[in-house]
């Protein structure tokens, strides 16, 4: 049983948890509308759906109620605030740099449906970009996850024969399966170290 030669990481929900920051930025730019939504409710109901649908849901909750189109005008302000805040203090998973360093026997990649212009500056700001031998972003392959293209591209760039994928979403896992790669599923960045350790150990491998 051959060990893995590469580890391909999804970005959001695996290396970083940006949802609390997205939520905080929305609440800040929409403050005047007094929308009574908590982070817990946001995570349960609105993560993974489009901003447009979310704002259409938020409109009737405002005091007084407004339509989603009114709230949508604040989209550019939210985007800019998120960009600033995320670069100031990227919400990385715990001990991420040390963990990536400990994987120095493996080729590493970031494989995300998010855009290069959003993610690459965060990798730079966090001082972790140099760990990754391949970066595959949204719109850089013919098809996005759940198609196999992004993970196949990453393995190809790395020259990896037996990669392990680390994912938090159904679409990402379907992409890994379609590529024919093993995967570890995590619920949050805090679970990544253990999930990777377990998967590597199951193949008789190790890391320092």
User: Which residues bind to Mg ion, rule: CB under 5 A?
Assistant: 10, 12-13, 168-169
Q: Which is nearer to Mg ion, 39 or 47 (CB)?
A: 47
- Nearest residue to Mg ion, scored by beta-carbon proximity: 13
Least Å from the CB of residue 206 to Mg ion: 26
CA angle 191–188–155, rounded 5-degree value: 80
Query: Which residue lies nearer to Mg ion by CB, 12 or 19?
Result: 12
Least Å from the CB of residue 118 to Mg ion: 13
Closest CB to Mg ion among residues 59, 189: 189
Residue number, 10 or 71, with CB nearest to Mg ion: 10
Nearer to Mg ion, 74 or 153 (CB): 153
Least distance in angstroms from the C-beta of 70 to Mg ion? 30
**Own/partner pairs, 25-28, CB within 8 angstroms, 24+ separation:** 25/78, 25/81, 25/82, 25/85, 26/78, 28/81
Distance of closest approach, residue 185 Cβ to Mg ion, in angstroms: 11
Nearest distance in Å: CB 150, Mg ion: 12
134-140 contacts: CB < 8 A, separation 24 or more?
Answer: 134/107, 134/109, 134/110, 134/158, 135/109, 135/110, 136/109, 136/110, 136/111, 136/112, 137/112, 137/113, 138/112, 138/113, 138/114, 139/115, 140/116
């Amino acid at each position: 049983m051959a060990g893995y030669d590469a580890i391909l990481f999804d970005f959001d929900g695996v290396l970083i948890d940006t949802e609390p920051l997205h939520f905080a930025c929305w609440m800040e730019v929409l403050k005047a509308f007094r929308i009574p939504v908590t982070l817990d409710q946001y995570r349960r109901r609105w993560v993974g759906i489009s901003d447009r649908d979310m704002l259409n849901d938020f409109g009737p909750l405002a005091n007084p109620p407004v339509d989603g189109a009114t709230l949508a005008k604040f989209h550019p302000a939210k985007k800019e605030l998120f960009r600033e805040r995320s670069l100031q203090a990227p919400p990385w998973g715990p001990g991420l740099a040390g963990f990536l360093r400990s994987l120095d026997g493996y080729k590493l990649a970031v494989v995300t449906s998010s855009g290069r212009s959003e993610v690459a500056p965060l990798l730079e700001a966090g001082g972790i970009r140099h760990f990754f031998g391949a970066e595959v972003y949204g719109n850089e392959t013919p098809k996005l996850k759940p198609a196999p293209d992004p993970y196949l591209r990453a393995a190809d760039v790395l020259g990896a024969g037996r990669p392990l994928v680390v994912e938090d979403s159904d679409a990402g896992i379907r992409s890994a399966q379609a590529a024919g790669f093993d995967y570890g599923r995590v619920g949050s960045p805090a679970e990544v170290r253990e999930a990777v350790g377990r998967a590597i150990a199951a193949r008789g491998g190790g890391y320092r």
